[in-house]
Structure 1
């Protein structure tokens, strides 16, 4: 059978183009029980030393738990920088730079003022991490099964992009309420100082819409961010092991693997910050104001205004992304989750291309 519409759509992806093309794609074969075999480079049964099977319910649950730890803790740790970044975006006349933003905040609110919004940050980004990393693993296997083994290898960047975008769609729905509360606390001095003060006040003024009016700008910000975060990370890890690390990943110690994870995560984080910053500026202003829409905020900020605070965001997101991947990978190591090797060309594809004897 010729490639399906999904395969053809993947081929249109500008981020990836295979070195080879196929004229025909075989239908995925079914097992005796009518189930499709796993297409990713990992066994469907637990190897010796693994705590569970790849793609099992326990595997997904532990990946989600890793997401909670990686996102919740790291975003909470950088609340002071996030607070200054948000204030730079919504009031650039008062907060003129990162250093000035810290100085003004400490002068007006004291050192404790730098921690404003930590509670909604921790709750919101923990829920986002659960969905982001957990659903990414789910969608990656799901889309891999749809594409088949050969197309999974050829179009793996498209697979990473599709899986991460799908996961982030649901992650942002989980994040939106606490993100709205966080931004309101951080950017409107005197409105509310704690989560318990802010939530009932927002609900009384605007109803449930107050917590979800920023979900579309969140999708605009977070979906491109997450697509870059996962696809760039996956391919950077692949290239590091291929061109930089002097030995295969299977021969590297756990600590050496985690160093590669951190480096690849930081590289991915820099690109994430750049592609998502304009939408981040819109989200910050939108959640500060009442009655505004994303389009109105975007017009008011203009082409230059949406890039305010970019340096602070690059520092924050680069560090965040590197730490998140490091923590997430550490959870996988601690719980002995299956760790697929870097993608390799399937034998069936090698035969079709005449690369085997």
Structure 2
């Protein structure tokens, strides 16, 4: 009995659902989200400017050329620190807490549809993750669209606080939730179901029967599918956030009215699809690579800790 209790919930020396397990998930989410968002900073700068000034920046190619011509090549990396640290903080909370809440809701909702577990887990994690992201996002957008506001987080944070107080950091929290909650719920649930379909319907193998390369291939395919679908859902709120932070509008309704209903869904959509799909794919790839390196299973599905001991024996 003692040996069984010692082996229960362990894989390669790491205890599933332990503090160490959630720490690895949080660190993996932080590294994967922060680095991937940092890598696409030039396109993010363009995206935000296309949202704020769509007449001037009306296409990807001409917009990039215009930014470089008027503001120099360095302008394409404006706001990089907000991307790295802001989305690193968000990613750590989002992935780490998703694993925590998925376990919690799976235990509470035994017998319920797994989609409800995925929705509840991702929503709970995203609410907290966006509170962590919001101050960084507020400064990042201003730095990217207002060249004389600040150079980055170091001078942007105190400057924004001096101008607008604490509320300046969280002005866009509501729209941020409106953008990221649907995205996160769709992204995580689509990812989970895509992984299940790919293993059972396409490859027709169990996860443990696949090589690491095959497992990461499944992760990448499911990540791209989930990112592309989530992007379409979250585009309206993303446009509203940029309008609010640049004082183009004073509230959500005014922002939606000024942009126009059809353009809420279409403005910056092509560049968002181009950005978000690969970014989400790389996030899942790096995240699951870190999990594999620490002896954990790749993502997808609800792990039943009651069965882990027998698998290890």
Q: TM-score, normalised by structure 2?
A: 0.91
What is the 5 A alignment of 1:90-239? Answer: 90-148=52-110, 150-151=111-112, 155-239=113-197
CA apart distance, 1:338: 4.5
Alignment-derived partner of residue 310 in structure 2: none
More helix by share: 2
CA apart distance, 1:195: 2.0
CA apart distance, 1:246: 4.4
CA distance in 2, matches of 1:323, 1:287: 28
Deviations 1:193-223 (A, max 9, x none): 2222322221111111111111111000001
CA distance in 1, matches of 2:250, 2:8: 50
Check the 8 A contact 1:181/1:199 in 2, yes or no: yes
From 274, 279, 284, the counterpart of 1:315: 274
3-state secondary structure, aligned to 1:289: coil
CA distance in 2, matches of 1:333, 1:226: 23
CA distance in 2, matches of 1:259, 1:338: 14
Please give the root-mean-square deviation of Cα atoms over the aligned residues, in Å.
Answer: 1.8
Runs (4+) of structure 1 moved beyond 3 Å?
338-345
CA apart distance, 1:70: 1.1
CA distance in 2, matches of 1:268, 1:245: 19
- Asked whether 1:261 is paired with 2:219, we answer yes
Indicate the larger mover: 195-204 or 212-221. Answer: 195-204
Alignment-derived partner of residue 22 in structure 2: 60
CA distance in 2, matches of 1:290, 1:162: 34
Check the 8 A contact 1:270/1:314 in 2, yes or no: yes
Alignment-derived partner of residue 284 in structure 2: 325
Q: 1:319 to 1:55 in 2, by over 3 A?
A: same
Check the 8 A contact 2:82/2:139 in 1, yes or no: yes
Unpaired runs of 5+ residues, structure 1, are 1-42, 346-357
Deviations 1:55-82 (A, max 9, x none): 1111111100011011100111111111
